[in-house]
Amino acid sequence: MKLVILDRDGVINFDSAQYIKNPAEWKPIPGALEAISRLNHADYKVVVATNQSGIGRGLFDMDTLNAIHEKMYEALAAAGGRIDAIFYCPHPADSDCDCRKPKPGLFKQIAACLNARLEGVPAIGDSLRDLEAAAAVGCQPILVLTGKGEKTQEEAMPKNTLVFADLAAAVDHLLAGDDA
């Protein structure tokens, strides 16, 4: 099984320091939906692993998160793509859970649910915590410079992190490797 793991905010859609709290605030980054569609058409399973501490902070509820994801699903369908599964951590940053990135709990859930080995699986994010969670389970960390990516690039990233301008450029690289 070919698998790719994506962060949501800052990778697929524009991020906000005030969180994406409702469907109206969810806006795709240009080229991201088409990039996911290209992955789908190349037989990749596309899974999202996202921290959603707004739930734990009381900024929005599960119905709202589901509505945000429904908007994303509809936009992806219009672009000929899909997300195969979404794994999220609803806990606030001060929580001691294992699922909040940079901890690897979401990635372990993905591996268990899909019965997949994660070694070398591309994991695309815009923050250091995305890259650290990916590296902790042996995924190939990939940084995109959208969202928090430009700032993250200045930090000490996991060894062998690949860097691309955006999700579309990262997908170009992945699909070119498939053709090699």
The CATH number of the domain holding residue 117 is: 3.40.50.1000
Q: Given pLDDT bands bounded at 50, 70 and 90, which one contains residue 162?
A: very high
Distances 165 to 3, 23, 125, 144, 169 between C-alpha atoms, Å: 21, 26, 12, 5, 6
Q: Which domain holds residue 78?
A: 2-179
Q: Is the pLDDT of residue 179 over 80?
A: no
CA distance 158 to 20: 27
63 is known as an active-site residue = no
Cα dihedral 112, 118, 123, 128, rounded to 10, equals 90
98 is known as an active-site residue = no
- Spot the catalytic one: 7, 15, 130, 166: 7
Q: What percent of the chain has pLDDT above 70? A: 99
What is the number of domains present in the chain? Answer: 1
Q: Is the pLDDT of residue 180 over 70?
A: no
Average pLDDT of the segment spanning 152-171 = 97
Summarize pLDDT for 23-63 with one digit per residue, the tens: 999 999 999 999 999 999 999 999 999 999 999 999 999 99
The whole-angstrom distance between residue 135's C-alpha and the CA centroid of its chain comes to 14
Of the candidates 8, 16, 39, 15, which has an alpha carbon nearest to the alpha carbon of residue 168? 39
